[in-house]
Structure 1
Amino acid sequence: MKICIISNLYPPIFRGGAERIVERIVNELVVRGHDVFVISTKPWSGLASLHAHETEKPAERVYRFYPLNLYHLLNDSKHIWPVRFLWHVFDAINLHSALEVKRILEQEKPDIVFTHNLKGIGLLIPLAIRRVGIKHAHTLHDVQLVIPSGLLFFTKKHTSPFTRAGHFVYEQVCRILFGSPDIVISPSKFLLDFYLKKRFFKKSKTSIYPNPAPHAVPLVRTSRQDGPLRLLFAGQLETHKGPGFLAKSLRSLQHPYELHIAGEGSLLDEVLNIASENDNIKVHGFVSTDQLMNLFHDMDALVVPSLCFENSPTVIYESLWAGVPVVASDIGGVGELVHDGTNGYLFTPADERSLLSALDRLFENKERFYASQSEIQKTVVDYSIERYVDKLIAVAFV
C-alpha cells in the first residue's frame, strides 16, 4: 500500500513528542513493506526551498519545503504577538502550501493520507486532500484547531477582548477549512470530547487509539540503590510544561532528592542558572530515546508537572514502558494513563502542596515501585507500535 504522512515537523526537524510518534509510525509501516512518503516543512533557505524536494532517509522518502509565511514554525517564540497573529492568518489560508501538497499527491497517488499536526504547514491541506479525492485520516495531538498556540492552561489567564474575538474567529475558520476527514483519531477521550463539543468533525468516523509506546528495550531494574529520591523531568523546557514550577516546589520537599532535567527550549538558560545554584539539579540537555531509557534505569519516577491541558504525553508512555512510575498533573488525558497508586500518582495542577503530597507518597513506596517494573510495564503493554499500526491499516480498508 502506498501511504502518505503529512506533519508540520518531522525528525530531524522536530520539537516534541508528536513528531517522535509520527516517526515511530513511519518506521513500522516501512518495516511491513508499505511504500511510505512524508510531507513536512523545513526552514527558509532561499527561493528553492519554496518547492518541495524529495530526499531519501534510511527507510522512507521525505518531501520538505518552506511554507510561504513570515517565518518557520520553529521560530515562533522569537516574534511579538502582532507578527504571530499575522502568521496564523497566513497559515490558515496558505494557498502556496496547499498547492504544493496537492501537486505531490497528484504525482504520488497514495491510497490514503494520514495527517498529524498541520499548524505551520497550512490549514488548507485537508481541502487539498479532498480535491484530489484521496481517503483522509487525521490524528489529533493538541487543541491547536481551537487555540492558535495549542495551549489551554489549567489556570485561566486573563485575555483581552481582542484576543478572545481572535480565538473565536480562528476556531470558526478552522472548523470550516478542516471539514470532516474520513476518519479522526485521538489518543485520548479527553481531546476527542473537547473537539466534538466544539462541533468539529461532524461527519467523520472517530476512534480513540492511545499513542504507541517506544520500540526501545528498557534496561532491567533489579534493586534500588541507596540515596536520595531520584526524579526526572523530560520534555520541552517551556513555561507550560512546568519545569520552573517543579524546581521551585522541590525546595519545600522534606526528603533528600535529585532532579534530572532532560530537554531543551526557551527556558534552558534559566534552568541552567537554577542548576548552577543547586547541586541537587542535573541538566542533561536533549537526549535521544535510547539515552532516555538509560536515564530511566536509575530514576524513582518521572514527574510531569504540566500547567496546560495535555492530550496523551509521549514521555508518559516511555516512562511506563521502562517500568518507571509517573507523578503527573491530573490534567487533560493524563489520568487515562496514570492510575493513582498503581503506576504512579496524580496531583492537582499548579498546586505545590498537592505535588509535594504525591512525592511524599512516592518516597514511602519507592522500594515497592522499583521492584514493580514488570507490573508497571503491563499498564502500557496494549499500546505497542505493532498494535497501533494494525489499527491504522484496518482504518485504510474501512
Structure 2
Amino acid sequence: MRVLVVHNRYSSAQPSGENRVVDEEVALLRAAGHHVDLFERRSDDIAARSLLSKATLPLLVPWNPAVRGELTKRLRAERPDVVHIHNVFPLLSPAVLAACADAGVPAVATLHNYTQVCPPGTLHRDGLPCNECVGSKTSLPAVRHGCYRDSRLATVPLAVSLSVNRRRWWSGVERFFCISAAQRDILARSGMPAERLVVKHNFVPDPEARRSGDGEHLLYLGRLAEAKGIRLLMAAWDELAAAGGVGVPLVIAGAGPLADEVTAWAAGRDDVRYVGLWDPAKCREAVARSIAVVAPSMSLETFGLVVAEAMAAGVPAVAAAHGSFVELVEDGVTGLLHRPSDSGSLASCLRRVAAEPGANREMGRAARRRYEQGFSPAVGLERLVEGYRTAIAGRSGGGESPPPTGNGSTGSRWGTRASRYGGNR
C-alpha cells in the first residue's frame, strides 16, 4: 500500500506525544512493507521567518492556498492509495482536504485531540472541563475566553478555521481515527458523522526494559501544566508527607509552564526529585523502575500514552477516573483510578499502590496482558491497515473492505480496487 502522511510537526522545545505517534506509525508501516512518504511542515521553522511572514501567518491558519497547490501537484504525480492526515495547525491548514479532493485520493485523519469541536482542542478552561463550543455552530465562546494561550487574538484564527471548515472536514475525510471510545462518544454527540468515527487506540512499541522487582519510586512523566494535574499531584503529595509519607520518593520528569513552581516546591525535599526533561531512553528506564506511573490529568485525555507505556513495562498506573483513562485502566486490576480533581482521593490511591507490593505486582502483570491485547504494534498495524482499506473501498464505491491478510499484503480482489488509485504499479 502507498500512504502519504500529512503532519505539521510540533515545536521541538516541548516533547510531543503526537509527533512520536506519527513517527512510530510511519516506522511500523514501513517495517510491514508498505510504502510511506511524508508531507510535512515544522513549527520550528516559524522562528526563521521574516516579521511580515510571521504577522500574516494567522491569516493562513483557516486556509493556505499554497499548500493546496503544492499537495495537489504531489498527489497527482505520486498517486498514493490513501492520505493520512494528522495535525494541520498552523502551517498546513484544512486546505490539505481540498488537495485530496482535487487529486481524487481518499483521506483518513487521526484525531489526537478535540480540535474538531474545541478551538484549542482541550475541552478545558480555567482549571475545569469546558464544553461551551461543543455542538455549537460558532466558536465565539472560545474567543471571548481567549482559550488558546490565554489570548483572544490568538484564538481567533482557530475559531474561524473551525467554523468555516467544519463541513469540509466532515465530508472530505473517509474515516476519522478516534484514539479512544471516550473521545468518539464526545465527538459523535457533538454532531460529527458517527459512521465515519472509528476507534483506533495508539500503539506503544514493546520496551526493552520491563519491571523486574517491586519498583523504587512513583513517577509523573509529562507536561508540567495545570490541565495535566501537576498541582493536584503536589497537593496530594503534601497530604501524604504530612501523614508520614509512603516510604518512596516521587520523581517528576517533564517541562512546561509550571516548571518554576515545581522546581521551588521540590527544592530541599528528600521525598521529591524533579529531574527536568529526560530523553526517551531515560524515560523508558524510569518507567520500568516505577512502583506506578501517575496520570492525574484534570482534562479529558483522548488517550494517555504514558499509561500505555507503563502497561507495556508491566507497571500499573494511578489515573484520574475520566476520559480515556477509564478504558485504559481497570480499577484494582491494571491500576487504580482516583476521583478527578480530588487530591484526597489521589493521595489515597498513591498510598495504596505503594503499600501493597503483592497486589501491585499482580496489577503490573495484568497491565502487561492488557497491553499485549490492545496496544501492541501487531494490534496497531492491523487496525491501521484495516482503516486504510475501508477508506479506499468506500471512495472507490466498493463498500466494505475485504479482511486484512496476516502479513499486511493485499489479495487479488483488493488489488483490483486499489489500482484505481495507483495501488498496483
What range is the shorter-chain TM-score in? 0.7 to 0.9
After TM superposition, list the pairs within 5 Å mapping 1:99-138 onto structure 2: 99-120=69-90, 121-138=92-109
**Structure 2 residue 156 is the aligned partner of structure 1 residue 185:** no
After TM superposition, list the pairs within 5 Å mapping 1:1-398 onto structure 2: 1-9=1-9, 15-43=15-43, 70=54, 90-120=60-90, 121-153=92-124, 155-156=128-129, 163=144, 171-180=162-171, 181-201=173-193, 205-223=196-214, 230-253=217-240, 254=243, 255-256=245-246, 257-370=248-361, 372-382=363-373, 383-397=375-389, 398=401
Secondary structure of the equivalent of 2:318?
strand
Q: Does the Cα contact within 8 Å between 1:221 and 1:370 map onto a contact in 2?
A: no
- Paired residue type of 1:31: A
- In the TM superposition, residue 352 of structure 1 has moved relative to its aligned partner by 1.1
> How far apart in 2 are the matches of 1:224 and 1:236?
23
- Paired residue type of 1:288: D
Q: Does the Cα contact within 8 Å between 1:124 and 1:177 map onto a contact in 2?
A: no
> How far apart in 2 are the matches of 1:45 and 1:17?
19
CA RMSD, 1 decimal: 3.1
Q: Does the Cα contact within 8 Å between 1:212 and 1:388 map onto a contact in 2?
A: yes
In structure 2, the gaps of 5 or more residues are 133-139, 147-155, 390-400, 402-425
Measured against aligned partners, the alpha-carbon deviations of 1:280-339 in whole angstroms (never above 9, x if no partner) come to: 221232233332221022211111111111011111100111111111111211101011
How high is the TM-score relative to the length of structure 1?
0.81
The structure-2 alpha-carbon separation of the partners of 1:223 and 1:238, relative to structure 1 and needing over 3 Å to count, comes to: closer
The structure-2 alpha-carbon separation of the partners of 1:280 and 1:87, relative to structure 1 and needing over 3 Å to count, comes to: farther
- Paired residue type of 1:163: R
Q: Higher helix proportion, which one?
A: 2
> How far apart in 2 are the matches of 1:297 and 1:396?
34
The structure-2 alpha-carbon separation of the partners of 1:224 and 1:208, relative to structure 1 and needing over 3 Å to count, comes to: closer
**Alignment size in residue pairs:** 362
Q: Does the Cα contact within 8 Å between 1:10 and 1:23 map onto a contact in 2?
A: no
> How far apart in 2 are the matches of 1:278 and 1:205?
51
Secondary structure of the equivalent of 1:380?
helix
In structure 1, the gaps of 5 or more residues are 51-65, 72-85
Q: Does the Cα contact within 8 Å between 1:262 and 1:284 map onto a contact in 2?
A: yes
> How far apart in 2 are the matches of 1:155 and 1:92?
28
The structure-2 alpha-carbon separation of the partners of 1:168 and 1:198, relative to structure 1 and needing over 3 Å to count, comes to: farther
- In the TM superposition, residue 144 of structure 1 has moved relative to its aligned partner by 1.4
- Paired residue type of 1:264: A
The structure-2 alpha-carbon separation of the partners of 1:362 and 1:373, relative to structure 1 and needing over 3 Å to count, comes to: closer
Moved more, 356-365 or 232-241: 356-365
Moved more, 236-245 or 280-289: 280-289
Q: Does the Cα contact within 8 Å between 2:214 and 2:357 map onto a contact in 1?
A: no
> How far apart in 1 are the matches of 2:111 and 2:130?
24
- In the TM superposition, residue 158 of structure 1 has moved relative to its aligned partner by 11
Percent identity over the alignment is 25
